[in-house]
Structure formats: structure tokens, C-alpha cells
Amino acid sequence: MENNNTIPHYDPNAAPVIDINGIKKLLPHRPPFLMVDRITEVGEDYVVGIKTIGVNEGFFIGHFPEEPVMPGVLIVEAMAQVGGILVLHNLEEPERYSTYFAKIDNTKFKRKVVPGDVLVFKLTITQPLRRSIVCMHGEAYVGDTLACESDMVAQVIKNK
């Protein structure tokens, strides 16, 4: 897929570009807070990541027992993790760095995310890494429907 404004295609039978073990090498997050299952595409300025929403996700216990809905802040967190993979994947020696949320803007939730949904994230760099800061635009789809979008700023910090 070229980097454009098209809805990302997800083929569950295709091998990931980065599997869960590769994701764990790039991100410090671990279950239950690791919210990316696989990366299906990665380019110089964009990435496509997947999160399958299982009925046994811990947050569904209290949000909401009779009508489970994934909390919006966790959709944004998952989006940020996918964005972190994009930034780190393009660095030399990515294991020496971490990304941190610095700012989110223009976040819109357009569809509920419920058990059984597959979130397909597309993050695109809008301003390249400069002075440890990178800007991205993220979109989260369920099928062909936009569920959430947000602009975000991340800071890239060298690990201690």
C-alpha cells in the first residue's frame, strides 16, 4: 500500500511485518498494557498495526458489564503504541530509545469498539523527527469505518 489517505487493508492470513516478539523488542509495554498485536505494513513515514479486541480484555469488566465498550483513552493509547513502533523502527539502534506522549489534539471518536472488533491503525508522520520531537496523525478503523482519529506529538528519549 502506498502512503495515502486510503483505508488500510487487513488480511488476517498474511504474515505480519513485525510480530508480537518484534513488537516487544521495540516497546517497553507488556500485557495487559501492550495494545498492539502485529504490524502489517511499515514505511518511512507510515505504519499499519492491528489490535484484536477480545471479550476477555480486563477493561470490559467495568466498562461496561452489560454493554462492553473499549474505553476511548485505550484506543488512543494503542494508537500511540503503533506510532511509537513507527518512530523507533526507523531509528538506528531503536532499542536505545523510547517514545513518550507529549500531546494529543483533535481526537474524535466516531464508532464504539466492542468485543470481536479488529482495530486497524494507520499512523502517518506529519512532521519528521527533529530535536527529539515527532508529529503524527493516527486513524483507527473497524472494517471500513473510522472509529477514532487523533493528532499526536511524541518525544523520543534515549534510555538510561
Cα→Cα distances 104→45, 71, 99, 151, Å: 19, 16, 14, 6
> What does the angle CA 87 – CA 81 – CA 22 come to, to the nearest 5 degrees?
75
Catalytic residue among 9, 63, 89, 137: 63
89 is a catalytic site residue: no
Q: Just list the catalytic residues.
A: 63
